Amino acid sequence: MAMAVAQKFNHLLSSLWHVGQKPPQPEPVFTVDRAQVPPLFWKPYIYAGYRPLHQNWCFYFRTLFQRHNEAVNVWTHLLAALALLLRLIGLAASVDFREDPHALPLFFIVLASFTYLSFSAVAHLLQAKSEFWHYSFFFLDYVGVAVYQFGSALAHFYYAIEPSWHDKVQAIFLPTAAFLAWLSCAGSCYNKYSQKPGLLGRIFQEAPSALAYVLDISPVLHRIIVSPLPAEEDPAL
C-alpha cells in the first residue's frame, strides 16, 4: 500500500514538473531556397542561402553568426568599420581634432568612411526582414555611399589640391560635390525602387557616381599633371 502511494506521488510530482516546463522550441531555419523568397531578393546565380522573411529582429541579428548569401557582405563591411573606428580612436589620442583646423578634414573623411561601412553592414544584415525594410535599409546604404563621396571630396579639396587651382574652384567645388553626392544617392534609390532593367537602370545609378568620382579625384589628378618632377618639387606626391 505504501509503495503504491509513493509511486502515485512520484508520478504526480513528475507530471507537475513537466507542466511547469516549456516544451523545447525547434531550432529556426536560417536559410531557404530562392523559390521561397520574393524575386526582389534574388541575386544572379545564387539559388540558396536566402533568409526567410517576416521573422523577428532577433532572428536577423542572430544571422550575423550564420552562413547565408549576405554573410560575406556583412562581415567585410563590419570588420572594416571596426578597424576604422579603432584607428579614429587612436588618432584622437594624438591629434587635437577640436583645436586644430587642419585636422578636421581628416576627421571627416574617417567618419564618412565609418558611416558608409557601418550603414552598408546594417543594410546587408537586416534587409531580409521584408520588402519594406529591404528598400529602407538599401536606401540607408546609398546615403552612406553619398556621405563617403562628399567626405572624399572634402579631404582632397583641403589636403591634395594645388594652391592656384584651389583659388579657381573654391567657390564651386564643394557645392558641386554635395550636389553630385545627393544626385548619386537619389539615382541609386530611384533605380532600386523602380527596378529598371538593363542599361537604363545602370545609367541612373552609375552615371551620377561616375561624375562624382571624377570631380572628387580631380584635385589629385590635377596636382599630378602640373607637377613634372613630383619627387623633387612636390614632396606631397
Known binding positions for Zn(2+): 124
Residues making up the annotated binding site are 124
150, 178 contact by CB (below 8 A): yes
Which residue type does 174 have?
Answer: L
Q: Among all chains, which residue has been given the C-alpha cell 594624438?
A: 94
DSSP 3-state assignment of 32?
A: strand
- Between CA 224 and CA 125 the distance in angstroms is 40
The CA-based dihedral angle spanning residues 30, 36, 38, 43, taken in that order and rounded to the nearest 10 degrees: 70
Q: For the chain, what is the radius of gyration of the CA atoms?
A: 27
Closest CA to 102 of 43, 149, 55, 154: 154
Largest pairwise CA distance in the chain: 109
**CA–CA gap between residue 207 and residue 201 (Å, rounded):** 10
Chain length of the chain: 237
